[in-house]
Amino acid sequence: MAECFLMEVCVDSVQSAVNAERGGAGRLELCSSLLEGGLTPSLGLLHIVKQCVKIPVYVMIRPRGGDFFYSDQEVEVMKKDIEVMKSHGADGLVLGALTEDGRVDAELCMELLASARPLPVTFHRAFDMAHDPVVALEALVTLGFKHVLTSGCDSSALEGLPLIKRLVDQAKGRIVVMPGGGITERNLQRILEGSGAQEFHCSARSSRDSAMKFRNTCVSMGAAFTAPEYSLKVADVSKVRTLNAIAKNTL
Protein backbone atom coordinates (compact mmCIF):
# COMPACT_ATOMS: atom_id res chain seq x y z
CA MET A 1 0.00 0.00 0.00
CA ALA A 2 1.27 3.49 -0.84
CA GLU A 3 2.04 5.67 2.15
CA CYS A 4 -0.87 8.06 2.39
CA PHE A 5 0.24 9.90 5.52
CA LEU A 6 2.72 12.64 6.21
CA MET A 7 4.45 13.46 9.47
CA GLU A 8 5.47 17.08 10.00
CA VAL A 9 7.98 17.69 12.79
CA CYS A 10 8.44 21.16 14.28
CA VAL A 11 12.11 21.91 14.88
CA ASP A 12 14.10 24.86 16.19
CA SER A 13 17.66 23.64 15.60
CA VAL A 14 19.77 22.06 12.87
CA GLN A 15 20.25 18.91 14.95
CA SER A 16 16.49 18.49 15.37
CA ALA A 17 15.99 18.99 11.62
CA VAL A 18 18.58 16.34 10.77
CA ASN A 19 17.18 13.92 13.36
CA ALA A 20 13.61 14.43 12.16
CA GLU A 21 14.57 13.67 8.56
CA ARG A 22 16.59 10.64 9.63
CA GLY A 23 13.61 9.31 11.58
CA GLY A 24 11.32 9.56 8.57
CA ALA A 25 9.61 12.97 8.82
CA GLY A 26 8.07 14.10 5.54
CA ARG A 27 8.20 17.82 6.25
CA LEU A 28 9.69 20.25 8.77
CA GLU A 29 8.12 23.28 10.41
CA LEU A 30 11.09 25.50 11.21
CA CYS A 31 10.78 27.93 14.12
CA SER A 32 12.72 29.51 16.90
CA SER A 33 11.46 29.54 20.51
CA LEU A 34 9.36 26.38 20.65
CA LEU A 35 8.82 27.29 24.32
CA GLU A 36 6.63 30.17 23.11
CA GLY A 37 4.87 27.94 20.62
CA GLY A 38 7.27 28.80 17.79
CA LEU A 39 8.42 32.16 16.40
CA THR A 40 10.07 33.19 13.12
CA PRO A 41 13.49 31.49 12.87
CA SER A 42 16.69 33.27 11.88
CA LEU A 43 17.82 33.32 8.26
CA GLY A 44 21.03 31.65 9.34
CA LEU A 45 19.06 28.71 10.73
CA LEU A 46 17.01 28.35 7.52
CA HIS A 47 20.20 28.47 5.43
CA ILE A 48 22.02 25.74 7.31
CA VAL A 49 18.91 23.53 7.69
CA LYS A 50 18.35 23.74 3.92
CA GLN A 51 21.95 22.60 3.40
CA CYS A 52 21.49 19.64 5.75
CA VAL A 53 18.09 18.19 4.79
CA LYS A 54 16.25 17.27 1.59
CA ILE A 55 12.63 17.25 2.84
CA PRO A 56 10.50 20.41 2.52
CA VAL A 57 11.04 23.13 5.12
CA TYR A 58 8.01 25.28 6.02
CA VAL A 59 9.01 28.42 7.89
CA MET A 60 7.04 29.91 10.78
CA ILE A 61 6.11 33.59 10.32
CA ARG A 62 5.21 34.80 13.80
CA PRO A 63 6.89 37.97 15.09
CA ARG A 64 6.21 37.45 18.81
CA GLY A 65 4.60 35.15 21.33
CA GLY A 66 1.18 35.84 22.81
CA ASP A 67 -2.00 36.41 20.83
CA PHE A 68 -2.55 36.59 17.07
CA PHE A 69 -3.96 40.12 16.84
CA TYR A 70 -1.21 42.14 15.17
CA SER A 71 -0.34 45.84 15.02
CA ASP A 72 0.52 47.60 11.74
CA GLN A 73 4.25 47.44 12.55
CA GLU A 74 4.03 43.72 13.29
CA VAL A 75 2.27 43.20 9.96
CA GLU A 76 5.15 45.01 8.23
CA VAL A 77 7.61 42.68 9.98
CA MET A 78 5.62 39.62 8.86
CA LYS A 79 5.54 40.80 5.24
CA LYS A 80 9.28 41.46 5.26
CA ASP A 81 9.94 38.06 6.87
CA ILE A 82 7.83 36.34 4.21
CA GLU A 83 9.77 38.10 1.44
CA VAL A 84 13.14 37.25 2.98
CA MET A 85 12.35 33.60 3.83
CA LYS A 86 10.92 33.06 0.35
CA SER A 87 14.06 34.37 -1.29
CA HIS A 88 16.22 32.13 0.91
CA GLY A 89 14.66 28.81 0.03
CA ALA A 90 11.61 28.29 2.27
CA ASP A 91 9.43 25.57 0.71
CA GLY A 92 6.27 26.81 2.43
CA LEU A 93 5.17 29.18 5.18
CA VAL A 94 3.18 28.86 8.40
CA LEU A 95 1.22 31.85 9.68
CA GLY A 96 -2.09 33.01 11.12
CA ALA A 97 -3.91 36.13 12.26
CA LEU A 98 -7.17 36.84 14.08
CA THR A 99 -9.34 39.92 14.55
CA GLU A 100 -9.88 41.26 18.07
CA ASP A 101 -13.19 39.38 18.28
CA GLY A 102 -11.56 36.04 17.46
CA ARG A 103 -12.37 35.64 13.78
CA VAL A 104 -9.86 34.78 11.06
CA ASP A 105 -8.50 38.14 9.86
CA ALA A 106 -9.40 37.53 6.22
CA GLU A 107 -8.15 40.90 4.99
CA LEU A 108 -4.72 40.53 6.57
CA CYS A 109 -4.44 36.85 5.65
CA MET A 110 -5.22 37.74 2.05
CA GLU A 111 -2.33 40.22 2.03
CA LEU A 112 0.06 37.73 3.65
CA LEU A 113 -0.97 34.96 1.24
CA ALA A 114 -0.39 37.32 -1.68
CA SER A 115 3.15 38.00 -0.36
CA ALA A 116 3.70 34.27 0.09
CA ARG A 117 2.70 33.23 -3.43
CA PRO A 118 3.44 30.78 -4.99
CA LEU A 119 4.43 28.96 -1.78
CA PRO A 120 1.90 26.76 0.06
CA VAL A 121 0.79 28.24 3.38
CA THR A 122 -0.37 26.53 6.58
CA PHE A 123 -2.64 28.36 9.05
CA HIS A 124 -1.15 27.59 12.47
CA ARG A 125 -2.74 27.07 15.88
CA ALA A 126 -4.10 30.61 15.95
CA PHE A 127 -7.02 28.52 14.68
CA ASP A 128 -7.41 27.06 18.18
CA MET A 129 -7.94 30.58 19.55
CA ALA A 130 -10.71 31.37 17.06
CA HIS A 131 -14.22 32.04 18.34
CA ASP A 132 -16.00 29.58 16.01
CA PRO A 133 -13.89 26.80 14.45
CA VAL A 134 -16.54 25.78 11.90
CA VAL A 135 -16.76 29.33 10.51
CA ALA A 136 -12.97 29.75 10.76
CA LEU A 137 -12.36 26.59 8.70
CA GLU A 138 -14.61 27.85 5.88
CA ALA A 139 -12.73 31.17 5.90
CA LEU A 140 -9.39 29.33 5.51
CA VAL A 141 -10.72 27.25 2.61
CA THR A 142 -11.99 30.40 0.86
CA LEU A 143 -8.68 32.21 1.41
CA GLY A 144 -6.70 29.32 -0.06
CA PHE A 145 -4.67 27.95 2.85
CA LYS A 146 -3.33 24.45 2.10
CA HIS A 147 -3.19 23.16 5.69
CA VAL A 148 -4.55 24.05 9.09
CA LEU A 149 -2.79 22.93 12.25
CA THR A 150 -5.11 22.33 15.18
CA SER A 151 -5.41 20.66 18.57
CA GLY A 152 -9.20 20.79 18.15
CA CYS A 153 -9.32 24.02 20.19
CA ASP A 154 -8.31 22.09 23.31
CA SER A 155 -5.17 21.65 25.42
CA SER A 156 -3.99 18.77 23.21
CA ALA A 157 -5.02 16.93 20.06
CA LEU A 158 -6.23 13.99 22.15
CA GLU A 159 -8.59 16.22 24.16
CA GLY A 160 -9.70 17.98 20.99
CA LEU A 161 -10.20 14.76 19.02
CA PRO A 162 -14.02 14.98 18.62
CA LEU A 163 -13.70 18.46 17.07
CA ILE A 164 -10.74 17.43 14.88
CA LYS A 165 -12.87 14.64 13.46
CA ARG A 166 -15.71 17.09 12.74
CA LEU A 167 -13.27 19.44 11.02
CA VAL A 168 -11.78 16.65 8.88
CA ASP A 169 -15.31 15.69 7.82
CA GLN A 170 -16.22 19.33 7.16
CA ALA A 171 -13.05 19.94 5.13
CA LYS A 172 -13.85 17.14 2.64
CA GLY A 173 -10.34 17.39 1.27
CA ARG A 174 -10.59 21.12 0.48
CA ILE A 175 -7.93 21.84 3.09
CA VAL A 176 -5.68 19.43 5.00
CA VAL A 177 -6.65 19.34 8.69
CA MET A 178 -3.47 18.43 10.56
CA PRO A 179 -3.77 17.43 14.23
CA GLY A 180 -0.98 18.72 16.46
CA GLY A 181 -0.42 19.41 20.15
CA GLY A 182 0.83 16.81 22.60
CA ILE A 183 1.07 13.98 20.06
CA THR A 184 3.20 11.09 21.33
CA GLU A 185 3.74 7.44 20.56
CA ARG A 186 1.14 6.66 23.25
CA ASN A 187 -1.75 8.54 21.64
CA LEU A 188 -0.96 8.82 17.90
CA GLN A 189 -2.90 5.74 16.87
CA ARG A 190 -6.04 6.93 18.69
CA ILE A 191 -5.73 10.39 17.16
CA LEU A 192 -5.29 9.11 13.60
CA GLU A 193 -8.03 6.48 13.86
CA GLY A 194 -10.40 8.82 15.68
CA SER A 195 -9.94 11.80 13.35
CA GLY A 196 -9.44 10.32 9.90
CA ALA A 197 -6.53 12.76 9.41
CA GLN A 198 -3.84 11.90 6.85
CA GLU A 199 -1.17 14.25 8.19
CA PHE A 200 -0.06 15.02 11.72
CA HIS A 201 2.32 17.39 13.47
CA CYS A 202 4.60 16.67 16.44
CA SER A 203 7.91 17.68 17.98
CA ALA A 204 9.05 14.16 19.04
CA ARG A 205 11.63 15.65 21.37
CA SER A 206 13.57 14.37 24.31
CA SER A 207 15.79 16.26 26.74
CA ARG A 208 19.51 16.11 26.32
CA ASP A 209 21.89 17.33 28.97
CA SER A 210 24.11 20.31 28.14
CA ALA A 211 27.76 19.59 27.29
CA MET A 212 28.82 22.41 29.65
CA LYS A 213 31.17 21.31 32.40
CA PHE A 214 31.23 24.65 34.22
CA ARG A 215 27.75 25.66 35.39
CA ASN A 216 26.47 28.77 37.12
CA THR A 217 23.15 27.71 38.61
CA CYS A 218 22.42 31.14 40.16
CA VAL A 219 21.53 32.74 36.85
CA SER A 220 18.71 32.10 34.41
CA MET A 221 18.45 33.84 31.04
CA GLY A 222 14.72 34.53 30.86
CA ALA A 223 11.63 35.30 32.88
CA ALA A 224 10.34 33.17 35.75
CA PHE A 225 8.92 30.41 33.53
CA THR A 226 11.98 29.47 31.54
CA ALA A 227 13.50 26.38 30.12
CA PRO A 228 16.40 25.07 32.21
CA GLU A 229 19.68 26.57 30.95
CA TYR A 230 21.58 23.27 31.00
CA SER A 231 19.11 21.03 29.22
CA LEU A 232 18.41 21.00 25.48
CA LYS A 233 15.30 19.65 23.80
CA VAL A 234 16.08 17.92 20.53
CA ALA A 235 13.97 15.91 18.08
CA ASP A 236 14.72 12.28 18.83
CA VAL A 237 15.40 9.96 15.85
CA SER A 238 13.93 6.92 17.57
CA LYS A 239 10.78 8.81 18.63
CA VAL A 240 10.27 10.09 15.09
CA ARG A 241 10.82 6.56 13.77
CA THR A 242 8.31 5.09 16.22
CA LEU A 243 5.66 7.71 15.34
CA ASN A 244 6.28 7.03 11.66
CA ALA A 245 5.80 3.29 12.14
CA ILE A 246 2.60 3.80 14.13
CA ALA A 247 1.18 6.06 11.38
CA LYS A 248 2.13 3.50 8.73
CA ASN A 249 0.37 0.71 10.59
CA THR A 250 -2.69 2.81 11.38
CA LEU A 251 -3.26 4.26 7.93
Q: What is the pLDDT of residue 71?
A: 97
- Which amino acid does the sequence have at 32? S
Residue 228 preceded by cis peptide, ω within 30: no
Q: What is the pLDDT of residue 245?
A: 94
Burial readout 4-13 (b: 16 or more C-beta within 10 A, e: otherwise): ebbbbbbbbb
Nearest of 214, 205, 212, 151 to residue 177 by alpha carbon: 151
Residue 206 to residue 149: CA distance in whole angstroms: 22
CA distances from 127 to 95, 194, 231 (A): 10, 20, 31
Q: What is the pLDDT of residue 226?
A: 62
DSSP characters over 23-45: HT-SEEEE-B-GGGT-BPPPHHH
Residues with pLDDT less than 50, the chain = 1-2
Cβ(130)–Cβ(103) below 8 Å? yes
Q: What is the pLDDT of residue 230?
A: 77
Q: What is the pLDDT of residue 178?
A: 98
Q: What is the pLDDT of residue 1?
A: 33
pLDDT tens digit sequence for 130-184: 999 999 999 999 999 999 999 999 999 999 999 999 999 999 999 999 999 999 9
Nearest of 9, 3, 24 to residue 238 by alpha carbon: 24
